[in-house]
Amino acid sequence: MERCSLDRARPESTPLPLPFKIPGQDANCSYFFHNLQQAYSLGHSLSSTPFTHIYTSDLKRAHSTAQHVLEQQPSPHPPLTITPLLREQHFGVAEGYAWVMSIPEGTTREAMYDQKVFPVLDTRQEKFPEGESLDDIALRAEAAVRECILPHVGHGQGDGDEEAHIAIASHGLCISEVVAALVRLDPEADKTKSYRGLKNTAWARVEVNQRSGDATGLEVKVVKFNVDKHLDDMKDIPSRHENEDGASAEARAYFGGGAA
């Protein structure tokens, strides 16, 4: 039985001020030193886990995380493939503007849009003008699975006995959809389980096997999720944004896929 193991890491994100501004695919999303330390720590924790290939979003947040992992891999380094299929959700006209959890009484969504303030969308089908819905990301995630993952399933390295072990660096909402897309490929998997709410630089591990005697059937197991043990040694390092109130915490959850 050929196996493909996948580790997915959510990149470091900018600490969220209030009002929180939607990052999405904003190429200018900045970093703080604390975030870079998190990404370095992730790479160090995975340095003894040799990957056969690394895939990453082309957005700076994920690409930087992938570079930290790649640079600390044993030699020879695995190939790195950059693809826009692994980008975060595109929020259209809302990108870079203020984000709120709800619409205040006495106003409308349209009026808030006019003020460049964008309330969270409630369903998977809704999208901001010129942006993507969660259903749109799900379709993109399926394309990413076909391009980045399935070619490695059933094709070992060398004499065929060595399993593929790939790493994917993406973003909270996108990772949630990629994991869900993989699980949907297994007819016996529990498709009611949610894989949302990844913390900054936390990772998930998914094993994808071909079922014995079934050329097309896959067995998909999410064996680890939201692993952030690499951050244990950083607990004494102060963040530049220590005072997080409820809105900021909600923002972190939402853009980690936890409230989508």
| Residues flagged as binding site | 61
Residue carrying structure tokens 């094993």: 207
| Beta carbons of 179 and 173 less than 8 angstroms apart | no
Q: How far apart are CA 209 and CA 71, in angstroms?
A: 28
Q: How far apart are CA 21 and CA 170, in angstroms?
A: 19
* Interior angle at CA 88, CA 197 and CA 107, nearest 5: 80
Q: How far apart are CA 170 and CA 179, in angstroms?
A: 11
CA distances from 89 to 52, 72, 94, 196 (A): 27, 29, 11, 14
List binding-site positions for substrate. 61
Q: What is the DSSP letter of 148?
A: I
- In the chain, what is the straight-line distance between the N-terminal and C-terminal CA atoms, in Å? 35
Residue 148: is it exposed, middle or buried by C-beta count within 10 angstroms (0-12/13-18/19+)? buried
Q: What is the DSSP letter of 175?
A: H
